[in-house]
Each structure stands twice: as structure tokens, then as C-alpha cells.
Amino acid sequence: MSRAPRPHLINDEKVGPVSGMKRTTEKNLMVFSGRAHPALAEAVARELGTGLVPTSAYEFANSEIYVRYEESVRGCDAFVIQSHTAPINEWIMEHLIMVDALKRASAKRITVVMPFYGYARQDKKHRGREPISARLVADLFKTAGADRLICVDLHADQIQGFFDGPVDHLMALPILTEYVKAKYGEESLAVVSPDAGRIKVAERWSARLGGVPLAFIHKTRRTDRPNETSANRVVGEVKGRICVLVDDMIDTGGTIVKAAEALMADGAAGVVIAATHALLSDPAVDRLKNSPATEVIVTDTLPLAPDQEFDKLTCLSIAALLSRAIQEVFLDGSVTSMFDGHA
């Protein structure tokens, strides 16, 4: 004959039988890195005061990717860092496989950290029968097991809505503006957007640089030919000013160099180019070397090969920004507070 469970007493009052087990859980932050940009991941881990989780990753003879973690990840708060640089499809696939491995190894929460979001420029249909590849990338990461994304300066803000979960959209703006303010703060400046679509970003730049004048380049882009634009006229007053030409990325450099030439033709005293992502696909380096710009300022969201470096180029570290965002997410803090409520 089974006995009924004894009632549990709290302050001498019967509250019924107790079932289950209660335990105060400890959070365990673990940082993982793919092979695309290990230097950035190591810098982020150093800022966080931790190390990268040892990982085995290699290709089979037929180029299939294999990933295995050398430590237990059960119950951890995982942050998987991978920049989608060239060859972009290979590194996105490795990133997806890393997320899948964490899910199957019982990680508690998986945050995908992608300083550069691959396929971000394919965020809408320009013509019929085109894909929206940026949405597909978001869906792939959700299916693989990602709970959250952390990205830096997305090409289009609406990409945040493509992922079915929280997206923390970081901005390199504070890092870039601090550098420009320190070096060119005494000059007569103007902030210039390379097209009308990025004028909001230019407005934030202007506010951080003390309300300097704004201008933009009126341009047309060919939807049937990639990386081709024609810079037209400058809209705004730039004569006699050092123009800070701001964009989210530099790929082949055609757009940004034509804009710099248009500004000089309109009477600008000089041009400084500032962009977050330095893709620098060929022939970007030659174009930028021979452009009227006196300096090209970028961040290290993407790795730079030795042949992509040149005298005019200044590369600023994004590691402190990423580590702060990771810390805020891990501690259930506020990422928005990092950007004065604008993120």
C-alpha cells in the first residue's frame, strides 16, 4: 500500500506536497569563431576577458565543411562570430553549420554575430523574377537554430524584420565620427551622402560633428548591371569645405570614387571617405589610390588582405563595440543605450 506524500510546512502551514527540483542556474557565456575573420573574434574575446572555444573545422576532399567543438556547450549562452567575406558562400555555410552544431549540442541560447551580413544588398526586388536573398539568409539562420542576430550597419534597415526573432543592429557611427572629429574637427566640414537613400545616416553624422552642412549626390544605378552607377550633380553647398563622404560599404569603389570626383568638380576643398565595411573587391584598391580622396576610413568588420592595404587607408577596430553589445545581451541589458536610444 503506497503512502500519500507528506505535506510541506512553511511557517508551520501546510502547503501540500513538493514536486520537482529547484536550482539557481548560472549563465555561461561562450564565444565561438568561424575561420573567415579569426583576428576580429580574438579581439572581441579579449575585450570580454574570455577565450574562444577550441573548434575543429576543415573541408573534406569534395569541399564539404566539418565543424566540431572541443568543449561541452550544454546550457551555454553561445555567441558565434563570423564575418561574411569572400568567398562569401563558403563562410555563410560554415556559419550555419556552426549554429546547427550548437543546437544539437544543447546550447541554451544561440546568438549569431555577423559584423557584415552577406547578401544584404539583395533586400528587395528591383525587377520581376528576382530573389530576395537577404530574407533567405535570415530564414536559413532561423532554421539552423539561431535565437538572435547581432549585425553592424545593415545595408537596409528592413532586414531586421526578415529574421523571426530579436535583431540588435549596431552602428559604427560613434567610432568613425570620433576619429573624424579628432582629426578634422578644426576644418570647415560638410557631410555628404553618396545617394539620397542614405541621407538619414548623413544626418546622424552631421549631428555628431556639431551640425555641419549636409549634401548628397544625385545618382542613377543600373538595375540590370551590378556595381554600376553614374554620379550626377551635387545637391547641397560643398564649396571650400572638406567633404566627409559616408557610406555603409565600399565594394568595387565605383560609386564612392565617382562621388568624390563630383564633389571636387563642384569646388570642395578635399574629400575624406568613411565607410563601415571594406569589401574592396577588385579594382577598388586602384580606384581609391587614384581617387581625389585624401583618406579612406573603414572598420575591421571584414578582414583586409595585404594587397588590399594602401597608404590612404585607415582601419579602425570594431571589437570594443561588438564586445559591449555581447555583454549587454548576455546580462539582459540595453543595446539601444549604447547609441543614445537610436539603435
The residues carrying an active-site annotation are 219
Residue type at 175 in one-letter notation: I
- Across the beta sheet with 295-299, the strand order is 229-235, 214-221, 189-193, 242-250, 270-278, 295-299, 313-316
- Lookup: cell for 248: 555603409
- Based on its alpha-carbon atoms, the radius of gyration of the chain, rounded to whole angstroms, reads 24
Which H or E element spans position 80?
strand 77-81
Counting every residue written for the chain, the total comes to 343
Of 281, 276, 289, 273, which Cα lies nearest the Cα of 305? 281
CA angle 50–55–60, rounded 5-degree value: 160
- Lookup: cell for 163: 529574421
Contact 213, 191 (CB under 8 A): yes
- Lookup: cell for 205: 553624422
- Lookup: cell for 251: 565594394
Does 303 sit behind a cis peptide bond, omega within 30 degrees of 0 on the bond before it? no
With left for phi above 0 and alpha for psi between -120 and 50, is residue 210 left, alpha or beta? left
- Lookup: cell for 37: 575573420
